[in-house]
Amino acid sequence: DAKTTQPNSMESNEEEPVHLPCNHSTISGTDYIHWYRQLPSQGPEYVIHGLTSNVNNRMASLAIAEDRKSSTLILHRATLRDAAVYYCILREISSDSSYKLIFGSGTRLLVRP
Amino acid sequence: NAGVTQTPKFRVLKTGQSMTLLCAQDMNHEYMYWYRQDPGMGLRLIHYSVGEGTTAKGEVPDGYNVSRLKKQNFLLGLESAAPSQTSVYFCASRDQSWVYNEQFFGPGTRLTVL
């Protein structure tokens, strides 16, 4: 399984942008990059995903390096509600056409008021 | 829509006891998953199902069994609980279409085995 590397924790001030990095140097050409986050005492929730091009949605932006060996999740204006553990995950396709999410330990984001 | 629900929310077992965790989804999703999360760690996949009547092993299947008799339900069973199975268990589901990549997670079941 391809692996991702993320910092254990990061801090941000409220209403400032946050850049959460992820390294995935062993990524293969068909691996999608997914980001999920887990708020305290809740199940994970989907944030964004991409393959090669940068992606934007209502929650965040995903910037993918040209060689795809790293990516950055961008929260444009952090709020207190964004305090969570953020997981960068490589989605691999299984032989049964399913796919599995292999979670690492993620980055704990602390947001200061 | 309720999304993904899990029953029960909390449970305490003694070593050797058995129990079944129920996951239900009302989104007509084909794929369903069971994960466990130990303190300070990410989720690990136990078993998954690609459709009614099918199941497959994930990363950490030992000590667990699953069944998918109905499309909307995915059951996780512990036949003889051990303290090492103390964890928070999450269920998830997703649509089979490749257009929709999102897994939807339930709120979790906190299990303690004494």
**Of A49, A45, A30, which is closest to residue B3 (Cα–Cα)?**
A45
Query: Taking 70 as the threshold, does the pLDDT of residue B98 lie above it?
Result: no
Name the least confident of A56-70, B29-43, B94-108: B94-108
Q: What is the mean pLDDT of residues A39-61?
A: 93
pLDDT class for A56, splitting at 50, 70, 90? very high
Considering only residues A3 and B86, tell me which one the structure prediction assigns the higher pLDDT. Answer: B86
pLDDT, residue A97, reads 64
Say whether A98 and B56 touch across the interface (CB within 8 A): yes
Give the span between the Cα atoms of A106 and B87, in whole angstroms.
Answer: 18
**Tens-digit pLDDT profile for residues A60-75:** 999 999 999 999 999 9
pLDDT, residue B40, reads 84
Could you tell me which residues are beta bridge partners of residue A57? none
Cβ neighbours for A57, distance < 8 A, ≥ 6 positions apart: A48
Residues in chain A: 113
Closest-CA distance of chain A to residue B16, Å: 27
Q: What is the mean pLDDT of residues B34-56?
A: 93
| Phi, psi of B47, rounded to the nearest 5 degrees | -145, 160
- Per CB distance under 8 Å, which residues of B are interface residues toward A? 4, 31, 35, 40-45, 48, 50, 56, 58-59, 90, 92, 101-108
